[in-house]
């Protein structure tokens, strides 16, 4: 669903949600990587589980982030109706060194995960 305009109330929720650096960093990672688990976010951002959960709850309550459960993992994603306004806001801060570093850490984490998966799948001793 694409928003043509937003209410003052929704706009205030968006700006309040983005008023703290940890939430901006989380949203930035979700924009670029579509969906991440809380564990991924903890590793990338070097946050505790409590801090990560608190900020994700704030983003969910603001109507920016949704979640889905797969077995014991919960994956977070940017809600479709929030995507356009968030992308517009992030155009102005996309070259921030901290946001770039977060994405680099994600890419290393993702690459290591792919290497480990391939190693397990190609193990000749695996039954």
Each domain of the chain, given as residue ranges in start order, spans 8-121
pLDDT single digits (tens) 29-42: 999 998 999 999 99
Task: Compute the CA torsion angle 101, 42, 34, 82 (nearest 10 deg).
Answer: -100
Band of the pLDDT at 8, cuts 50, 70, 90?
confident
pTM of the shown model: 0.80
DSSP-derived 3-state class of residue 19: coil
Q: Where are the beta strands (DSSP E) in the chain?
A: 35-37, 65-70, 73-78
Look at the domain 8-121 and name its fold: Arc Repressor Mutant, subunit A (1.10.10)
């Amino acid at each position: 669903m694409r928003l043509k305009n937003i209410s003052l109330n929704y706009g205030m929720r968006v700006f309040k949600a983005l008023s703290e650096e940890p939430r901006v960093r989380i949203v930035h990672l979700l924009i670029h990587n579509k969906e991440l688990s809380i564990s991924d976010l903890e590793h990338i951002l070097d946050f505790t589980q409590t801090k990560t959960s608190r900020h994700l709850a704030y983003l969910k309550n603001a109507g920016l982030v949704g979640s889905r459960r797969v077995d014991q993992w919960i994956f977070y994603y940017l809600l479709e109706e929030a995507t356009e306004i968030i992308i517009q806001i992030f155009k102005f801060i996309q070259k921030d060194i901290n946001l770039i570093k977060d994405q680099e850490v994600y890419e290393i984490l993702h690459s290591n995960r792919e290497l480990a998966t391939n190693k397990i799948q190609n193990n000749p001793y695996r039954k």
